Amino acid sequence: MGDFEGLTSRLDYLAGLNVNCVWLQPFFPSPNRDNGYDMDYYGVNPLLGTLGDFVEFLYKARERGIRVIVDLVVNHTSNDHPWFQEARQDPDSHYRGYFVVDALPFLIELKGIPNTEDQDPYQYLSEMRQFLSWHLGDAVLMAEANLPPEEVPHYFHEGNRIHVVFNFWVNQHMFLALAREDGTPIRKAFDELPGIPSHCQWANFLRTHDELDLGRLSDAEREEVFQAFGPEKNMRLYDRGIRRRLAPMLNNDRKRLELAHSLILTLPGTPVLRYGDEIGMGDDLSLKERESVRTPMQWSNTRNSGFSWAPEDKLVIPVIKTGEYSYKRVNVATQQRDPDSLVSWLERAMRLRRRCPEFGSGRWQWLETGEPAALAHCCQGEGSAVFAIHNLSSRELTVKVDLGRKQSAARPAGQPQHAC
């Protein structure tokens, strides 16, 4: 099922991919119903290793310059937890109010709270941030929060609450743009986002371990994306999302896969990569619900894709054994030997991204191309500027982009200054 000893052995691969942070899903002791959440944040599920294994993983990651983010689900427990048991037994138990779904927005319960200045329900996030900062000053809070733009300021506030928020708004409109082969929805989505504090950040992503949630799109827009990337009923989930991996959605088209990854690597924010997308892993739609995109990482063409030597029937989720995305055809070991493979391309692209911090945190603006399918933007750092131009269409385009280069009359002699 994957454990800390195995993860530690793969740190060199992650470092070679130019990853500098690993986000761990819950690994705490749990009866493992609904994939296992509980409230013992000081322990490790024995199936995944020991506390010592976890500490060893942290040390080895730090040696390679890799930070670690732990999944902290503060309002979701297993059904065995004492709070949950008491809430079930007593309708008047105050623990009943402790339980609402598992994403950050549901942690803040607005029902029954007067809309007054002196009762800010989001103040709890400031308290969490203060507690974290006192205990570990360089730690960050990253929220998996599917928010409409008007609610974002509650979570960033003045930079004293959440550090990083997943950019679900842009993510959903990015797939609308890919479906239409038109960059306009991406531009519009970014323009609709409110400004955020300078030391806060968006997390840009393509896919997560859940369905591709399209709930923020209009009914007509959602149907466009469904028809493009999830035309069959068994590809959809909860009437709002698509339960497929990125590569199958894009028909395993190498140019489109590179385009999609290039977008999250260059658009303003921090790119977040879903395991397996770097090699173009597929999905298994025969599995129920979200498990279709949670199949084991395909490390090699050996038994169980090199993920485990356990008997096949002991794997928590089976590996993909047949078809275009079989582990015998799609795996890390094979692609690492091929300089033209997707993982080799992405390794170079991520190295370039790390060499160009302007993309993540520089001042930025859209550039006009005169062609809706061509999306261009410029990001400026201190005395430097980088440009990205993406063709979202399936045809060749010729565009003229005004980079707006100007020489400042006030600049020191011998020091060129480029401005968008």
Rounded distance between C-alpha atoms, residue 73 and residue 26, angstroms = 8
Query: Per-residue pLDDT for 314 more than 60?
Result: yes
Which residue pairs from 146-151 have beta carbons closer than 8 angstroms and sit at least 24 positions apart in sequence?
Answer: 146/103, 146/105, 146/213, 146/215, 146/216, 147/105, 148/216, 149/192, 149/193, 149/194, 150/194, 151/105
Residue 370 backbone class (left: φ over 0; alpha: ψ -120 to 50; beta: rest): left
DSSP 8-state class, residue 25? P
pLDDT tens, residue by residue, 26-37: 898 888 776 666
Tell whether pTM > 0.85. yes
State whether 343 and 397 are in the same domain.
no
- Return the pLDDT at 173: 98
State whether 224 and 341 are in the same domain.
yes
Query: Per-residue pLDDT for 141 more than 60?
Result: yes
State whether 110 and 7 are in the same domain.
no
State whether 71 and 124 are in the same domain.
no
State whether 260 and 127 are in the same domain.
yes
Query: 82, 102, 122: which is the final residue of a domain?
Result: 102
The answer to whether residues 266 and 388 touch, using CB atoms and an 8 Å cutoff, is yes
> What CATH number is associated with residue 184?
3.20.20.80
Average of pLDDT values for 94-122? 76
Query: 321, 355, 389: which is the final residue of a domain?
Result: 355
Query: Per-residue pLDDT for 193 more than 70?
Result: yes
Quote the mean pLDDT of the chain: 90
How many domains, the chain? 3
State whether 181 and 264 are in the same domain.
yes
Which residue type, as a one-letter code, is found at position 241?
Answer: G
State whether 234 and 303 are in the same domain.
yes
> What CATH number is associated with residue 56?
3.30.750.90
pLDDT tens, residue by residue, 63-101: 999 999 998 877 777 788 888 899 999 999 998 877 777
The answer to whether residues 325 and 282 touch, using CB atoms and an 8 Å cutoff, is yes
Residue-wise over 188-217: b if at least 16 C-beta within 10 A, else e? ebbeeeeebeeebbbbbbbbbeebbbbebb
Query: Per-residue pLDDT for 43 more than 70?
Result: yes
pLDDT tens, residue by residue, 346-405: 999 999 999 999 998 889 999 999 999 999 999 998 889 999 999 999 999 999 998 866
Of 80, 89, 63, nearest to 28 by C-alpha is: 80
Stated as kind and residue range, the H or E segment containing 82 is: helix 82-89
State whether 181 and 282 are in the same domain.
yes
Catalytic residue among 86, 102, 120, 181: 102
State whether 64 and 128 are in the same domain.
no
Q: Outline where DSSP puts E strands in 1-66.
A: 21-24
| 363-367/212-213 β-pairing | unpaired
Full DSSP string of 241-264:
EE---HHHHTTT-HHHHHHHHHHH
Average of pLDDT values for 167-173? 97
pLDDT band for 115, please (50, 70, 90 cuts): low
Query: Per-residue pLDDT for 110 more than 90?
Result: no
- Return the pLDDT at 82: 87
State whether 172 and 305 are in the same domain.
yes
State whether 178 and 193 are in the same domain.
yes
pLDDT tens, residue by residue, 216-262: 999 999 999 999 999 999 999 999 999 999 999 999 999 999 999 99
**Known active-site residue 102:** yes
- What range defines the domain where residue 295 resides? 104-355
Catalytic residue among 144, 277, 283, 284: 144
Of 265, 240, 285, 234, nearest to 377 by C-alpha is: 265
State whether 122 and 34 are in the same domain.
no
Query: 74, 102, 130: which is the final residue of a domain?
Result: 102
- Return the pLDDT at 72: 84
- Return the pLDDT at 77: 79
Rounded distance between C-alpha atoms, residue 364 and residue 377, angstroms = 7
DSSP 8-state class, residue 393? S
**Known active-site residue 86:** no
